[in-house]
Chain A
């Protein structure tokens, strides 16, 4: 902090001196003082960030717990103790065997198990069990016998650690403990009330599958598997969160996804040392590349077909238990502009919509800034008749343009937030009140000019074209407005260049985030969407191997015309081609 001392000799000042300074009108010292204060605050933040960067030890802190004892009572006592004697912990005593000579207990947590599975899979077989040959002795033999021959369940496994038993119980499995055995059985009886697969609210489509992920991770994995029936689709389970012990699964195509990216994702997930993961947003925030950037470097979606497409392009999907939002990495900037429907509709229209989306995104960032720059700096560039109409509208409004448009943008954000959080019917009422009454009233009362309302309205509507970049656009919009009110068009152009440079400096898991519309193969799926049969390669940069999607062939255009003209050729070449195809 030598720099600190050099720049701010007054940093150790006490409030009395502050009063003195104000009284003496020594503004210079005062401003240095304030600067010093802000500087210290910022360097504190910097310290915190540096601390965060230092914590890199991989987290491996799963409570192993002691091994099991032979006495059932001791085990049960331990379990009760370590599950904090909760009332939803059920211990069901059992007696079984031909002569009911064995006593045991079934441990589970109420509400997380499927009662049918317990009755049919554990209780009934145990009651009916009559060993065919000699009775196995208490101990591992008995447990093995139970596991193999008696219990009817999809997943049965022996455990010897009490810690594991606690974990399994907490995730909805049932433990069967037998007196005299130092191992127990864990039986998969997970079953709880869950939402069924339904159409996602955040991404609605006109054409395309309507199913969405649910909160259940197994279900989600299955939904993806149903799309990609490939043996190379690798699923890997991790448990993250000291307390929440959340299941996190990685899914990727082993032979396509880049090993570096996979290793990077695993490394970053391993670095996580947190209390709980309640939503994939937690993971996203911990593993993203640029936490302070307005642009997100991890993608997400709620739809299986989107995630399947991402996996097929070589990305890694990160599923988190308890949320329908699945993360994908690496994320490219261009992804936000590609929707699944682009690939389900015909390429010409899809390209048109794609371009519209780019224009909409630019409008949503630059429109208010442009309005400010044009009306308060460069009146020269407005056509004369338009200038008169704007000037007429501005006449008599009390606020400067910046304040006016800032206020309107702010009001729009308020309305949007209010509309989202409220139930749908009320939300609609809010938007009607906000948009119609407030906008109209403000104009006719002479508080704001109509052009501002129009500008903000077009900005607002345009911002919904690219929902994935909405948060970035909101931030950039304000920045651009400030820059525009500072140095007008020059400020906007420098701001735009700064955004470009920032985008260029971003990396997502080692892959460049934005390639600047460079002249590469990726152009086929950037501003336009080429026909599917044209895009034979996966996007550049993401996949490591197997970059080819399929063989290139051109579907026959207008088949009857071809038949008319080249019917002879067709006959000659027909069999050959079929041979080559096979």
Chain B
């Protein structure tokens, strides 16, 4: 009995071993046969391409897909020719109907397989963003290789230019973008728009998605990437944008700000503050006349970092003055941003969602007309600033000495 069992087991183990050795490995990909994709750019098909190929004209679904691939260099060869080092990113580009089709096409055309897991950023070209993106991003949600952490950004002109940028700070521009967003995340989490946040807003129905805009700037032969503002989407189409200043106003409205600067100018002089902490509390309700009333209370703790002017004021007078000054400045910026949003009918603050959560019963009756309600909504803005410290010096050089 025992013997039979043993032989039967050994037979099974043998079979398993054979299957191990013969059948091969399915998911096995050597690293050197992979292209590590670090960024994906989606663009409207460029005009020049259209002329070359008349077929494309008929099909407006086509888009340019640009993949940025981090180039790997073997350490032994890399060290020898540092002088003549070229860009360390490879750009591959093709035009197909969908993202995955393009990626598969590029897969076929190149020597290696695409590894999409490490994609850092999805860049949308401005034109594509304006024409609607809902049918473009399914691949980024469905595919197992795509992560929900991928950053969503809009390129000021074409996404491929951003991906092709040769920067001094970082060899691969998408890694630079990732670093930039991570840095801004520490300022406020609302700067960093991940795929999850983006999709979450698209699914709200009433909310408008936002995404940071990057711009390629050339300064004295050097290319730099700058954050230009925020794109505002209505449904899935980009309808406008916030400027840098207005973006700050938007971020403050969302609260949870841990860093940042605030400059205020008056006739007397210019004061620069550092934001130590900024919280915003939001409340939303229905006015008796049927319009929507939103209340935003901002509580900010600032620190004074630079002063210019204000001569003739004693520190004792100055501090309350600075407090009101900064409060007004915050109010102004928030209102500026809000005005832009209202003009575009775009609820970037997710007031609609807030209303839905607070008053689910009423929401059902007003959901249809939310756009109009939002346009006519009045914002009740209260800002409270605390300015506990003046920094290392109490008086500035320009200030007048109090007379004895």
A residues in contact (CB < 8 Å) with B: 3, 35, 38-39, 42-43, 45-47, 49-50, 53, 375-377, 379-380, 384, 387-388, 390-397, 400-401, 444, 446, 450, 482, 485-488
B162 interface residue per 8 A CB criterion: no
What's the minimum C-beta distance from B94 to chain A, rounded to whole angstroms?
A: 23
- Listed from nearest, the 3 A-B pairs whose CB atoms lie closest are A396-B74, A380-B117, A395-B74
- The answer to whether residues A396 and B36 also contact, given A39-B11, A46-B10, A388-B72 and a CB cut-off of 8 A, is no
Chain B residues 8 to 49 lying within 8 A of chain A, measured CB to CB, are: 8, 10-11, 14, 18, 20, 25, 27-32, 34, 36, 38
B229 interface residue per 8 A CB criterion: no
Query: Once the chains bind, are A379 and B14 in contact (CB under 8 Å)?
Result: no
Query: Once the chains bind, are B3 and A376 in contact (CB under 8 Å)?
Result: no
Q: Which residues on B sit within 8 Å (CB–CB) of A401?
A: 30-31
Chain B residues 70 to 98 lying within 8 A of chain A, measured CB to CB, are: 70, 72-78
Query: Once the chains bind, are B31 and A396 in contact (CB under 8 Å)?
Result: no
In the assembled complex, 14 residue pairs joining A and B whose CB atoms fall closer than 8 Å, in A order, are A3-B7, A46-B7, A377-B28, A380-B145, A387-B36, A392-B73, A394-B32, A395-B72, A397-B74, A401-B31, A444-B76, A446-B76, A485-B28, A486-B20
Most buried by B among A391, A393, A450, A485: A391
Query: Once the chains bind, are A376 and B7 in contact (CB under 8 Å)?
Result: no
B175 interface residue per 8 A CB criterion: yes
Checking B7, B34, B38, B120 against A39 with a beta-carbon cut-off of 8 angstroms, the contacting residue is B7
- The answer to whether residues A377 and B14 also contact, given A46-B6, A392-B72, A446-B76 and a CB cut-off of 8 A, is no
- The answer to whether residues A391 and B3 also contact, given A35-B14, A384-B38 and a CB cut-off of 8 A, is no
B270 interface residue per 8 A CB criterion: no
Query: Once the chains bind, are A392 and B75 in contact (CB under 8 Å)?
Result: yes
A47 to B25, CA, bound (A): 35
Q: Which residues on B sit within 8 Å (CB–CB) of A47?
A: 3
Query: Once the chains bind, are B7 and A391 in contact (CB under 8 Å)?
Result: no
What's the minimum C-beta distance from B203 to chain A, rounded to whole angstroms?
A: 25
Known A394-B31, A396-B77; further 19 A-B contacts with Cβ < 8 A: A3-B4, A35-B14, A38-B14, A39-B7, A39-B10, A43-B10, A376-B28, A376-B31, A377-B28, A380-B117, A380-B118, A380-B145, A384-B36, A384-B120, A387-B118, A388-B72, A392-B75, A450-B75, A488-B27
B115 interface residue per 8 A CB criterion: yes
Query: Once the chains bind, are A392 and B3 in contact (CB under 8 Å)?
Result: no
Checking B25, B73, B76, B120 against A487 with a beta-carbon cut-off of 8 angstroms, the contacting residue is B25
Q: Which residues on B sit within 8 Å (CB–CB) of A3?
A: 4, 7-8
Q: Which residues on A sit within 8 Å (CB–CB) of B142?
A: none
Query: Once the chains bind, are B73 and A395 in contact (CB under 8 Å)?
Result: yes
Q: Which residues on B sit within 8 Å (CB–CB) of A38?
A: 14
Query: Once the chains bind, are B14 and A39 in contact (CB under 8 Å)?
Result: yes
Tell me the interface secondary structure of chain A in the complex: helix
CB-nearest residue of chain A to B174 = A384
Most buried by A among B4, B7, B38, B120: B7
Checking B31, B145, B175 against A390 with a beta-carbon cut-off of 8 angstroms, the contacting residue is B31
- The answer to whether residues A384 and B78 also contact, given A42-B14, A379-B118, A391-B32 and a CB cut-off of 8 A, is no
What's the minimum C-beta distance from A561 to chain B, rounded to whole angstroms?
A: 42
Q: Which residues on A sit within 8 Å (CB–CB) of B72?
A: 388, 391-392, 394-395
- The answer to whether residues A379 and B34 also contact, given A50-B3, A392-B73 and a CB cut-off of 8 A, is yes
Q: Which residues on B sit within 8 Å (CB–CB) of A49?
A: 3, 6
What's the minimum C-beta distance from A536 to chain B, rounded to whole angstroms?
A: 43
Most buried by B among A35, A47, A396: A396
Q: Which residues on A sit within 8 Å (CB–CB) of B7?
A: 3, 39, 42-43, 46
B364 interface residue per 8 A CB criterion: no
CB-nearest residue of chain A to B35 = A391
CB-nearest residue of chain A to B24 = A486
A392 to B72, CA, bound (A): 5
- The answer to whether residues A482 and B20 also contact, given A50-B2, A379-B29 and a CB cut-off of 8 A, is yes
- The answer to whether residues A46 and B3 also contact, given A377-B28, A379-B31, A391-B32 and a CB cut-off of 8 A, is yes
Query: Once the chains bind, are B30 and A376 in contact (CB under 8 Å)?
Result: yes
A446 to B80, CA, bound (A): 14
A394 to B10, CA, bound (A): 38
CB-nearest residue of chain A to B34 = A379
Return the CB mask of B104-123 against A: 1 if under 8 Å, else 0: 00000000000101101000
Query: Once the chains bind, are A42 and B11 in contact (CB under 8 Å)?
Result: yes
What's the minimum C-beta distance from A428 to chain B, rounded to whole angstroms?
A: 30
CB-nearest residue of chain A to B147 = A380
Q: Which residues on B sit within 8 Å (CB–CB) of A45?
A: 10
A387 to B29, CA, bound (A): 14
A53 to B3, CA, bound (A): 10
Q: Which residues on B sit within 8 Å (CB–CB) of A391?
A: 31-32, 34, 36, 72
Query: Once the chains bind, are A379 and B76 in contact (CB under 8 Å)?
Result: no
Most buried by A among B4, B32, B70: B32
CB-nearest residue of chain B to A4 = B7
CB-nearest residue of chain B to A54 = B2
- The answer to whether residues A393 and B6 also contact, given A384-B38, A401-B30 and a CB cut-off of 8 A, is no
- The answer to whether residues A388 and B70 also contact, given A42-B11, A376-B28, A377-B28 and a CB cut-off of 8 A, is yes
What's the minimum C-beta distance from A241 to chain B, rounded to whole angstroms?
A: 28
What's the minimum C-beta distance from A534 to chain B, rounded to whole angstroms?
A: 45
What's the minimum C-beta distance from B262 to chain A, rounded to whole angstroms?
A: 34
A486 to B23, CA, bound (A): 9
Most buried by B among A3, A35, A46: A46
